[in-house]
Amino acid sequence: MTLTLNRGPLSGRPPEAVNYTIDGPEHRLLLSDFPRRVRAIFAGTEIIDSRRAKQLHETAYLPQLYVPEDDVRMDLLEPTDHRTRCPFKGDASYWSIRVDGRVADNAVWAYRDPTERASWLAGYYALQFDAMDSWFDEDEEIEGHLRDPYHRVDVRQSSRHVRVVADNVPVAETRRPMLLSETGLRNRYYIPPEDVREDLLHTSSTRTVCPYKGTATYHTLRIEDQVWEDTAWSYLDPFENALKVRGHLCFSGPGIEIEIDGSRVE
């Protein structure tokens, strides 16, 4: 995510404050080693099991895992007529996965004859992440998507003065937030529940999964007849890098005003 999105060096808008230039196309590809064993399970069967996987970092996309053919259960793949063309990588061929009557259509693809500038993709196969029942990074099941080694999350205790206001009503105020910095994203301030008007919040059914922080539970804010859907979220059981924000609440959304040390944050 660092390399290919936002202002990363392989993004469409690379940083300007550098003392170098990158010669080459605006759409950039980088294939790097994935440092751990990775497995994908479908219908109770391992489709891939690789200690030699690669991650393709491509401008404007999240990294995509590619594994060598020897690490793929090719006997479970059925070729299809589906084809796509990428001007940077070449023509992609597709396969469906069939296991005990279950089928994942066009869930595997490969560039059998890639372009010259992506020739190193020959012999590697990619899987549609959501088509698999589960993924494992070593022996830990993955949520969301495979983590990018260039992406990180840091949480620090802070004494900044944080206020959250909606429709001129104070919703939260603290001088002890947890400041979460995440690669490529702006800082987020997580507020202890004791410093939040929890009587104004109502837990919604919305959940999202972040591979770096965990599963987020969302809350709707209600002040008399005004309603702000899913404007706050919290991680009740965060991953190791975000443990310090456990149970804290973060706010964002239209109509929500956030002040940090007296200055409004856009």
pLDDT digits (tens, 9 = 90+) for 91-100: 999 999 999 9
Where do we find the tokens 């597709």? Answer: 94
Position 14 confidence tier, pLDDT thresholds 50, 70, 90: confident
- Phi, psi (degrees; rounded to nearest 5) at 150: -90, 5
Average pLDDT, the chain: 94
Write the pLDDT tens digit of every residue in 180-238. Answer: 999 988 999 999 999 999 999 999 999 999 999 999 999 999 999 999 999 999 999 99
Give the confidence band of 126 by pLDDT, cuts at 50, 70, 90.
Answer: very high
**162/263 Cα distance (integer angstroms):** 9
Got the DSSP string for 34-60?
Answer: --S-EEEEETTEEEEEESS-EEEEETT
> What is the reported pLDDT for 6?
80
At residue 1, does pLDDT exceed 70? no
Backbone angles phi, psi at 145, to 5 degrees: -165, 170
DSSP character at residue 132 = S
State pLDDT tens for residues 130-156: 999 999 999 999 988 888 888 999 999
Please enumerate in sequence order all residues whose Cβ is within 8 A of that of 243, keeping only pairs 6 or more positions apart, or say none.
Answer: 155
Query: Quick one: pLDDT at residue 2?
Result: 74
The predicted model scores a pTM of 0.87
Q: What is the model's pLDDT at position 210?
A: 94
Rounded CA-CA distance 136/233 in Å is 27
DSSP-derived secondary structure letter, 72: B
| Residue from 169, 145, 153, 148 nearest 227 by CA | 169
Please state which CATH number belongs to domain 153-265.
2.170.150.40
CA angle, 118 then 34 then 121, to 5°: 20
| CATH class in words for 29-141 | mainly beta
Report the distance separating Cα 264 and Cα 34, nearest Å.
41
Strand, helix or coil at 66?
strand
Neighbours of 140 (CB within 10 A): 10
Average pLDDT over residues 102-107: 98
Q: Where in the chain is the domain with CATH 2.170.150.40?
A: 29-141, 153-265
**pLDDT tens per residue across span 29-87:** 999 999 999 999 999 999 999 999 999 999 999 999 999 999 999 999 999 999 999 99
pLDDT bin (cut points 50, 70, 90) of residue 168 is very high
Q: Which of 173, 147, 134, 174 is nearest to 158 (CA)?
A: 174
DSSP class of residue 9?
T
Helix (H), strand (E) counts: the chain:
0, 22
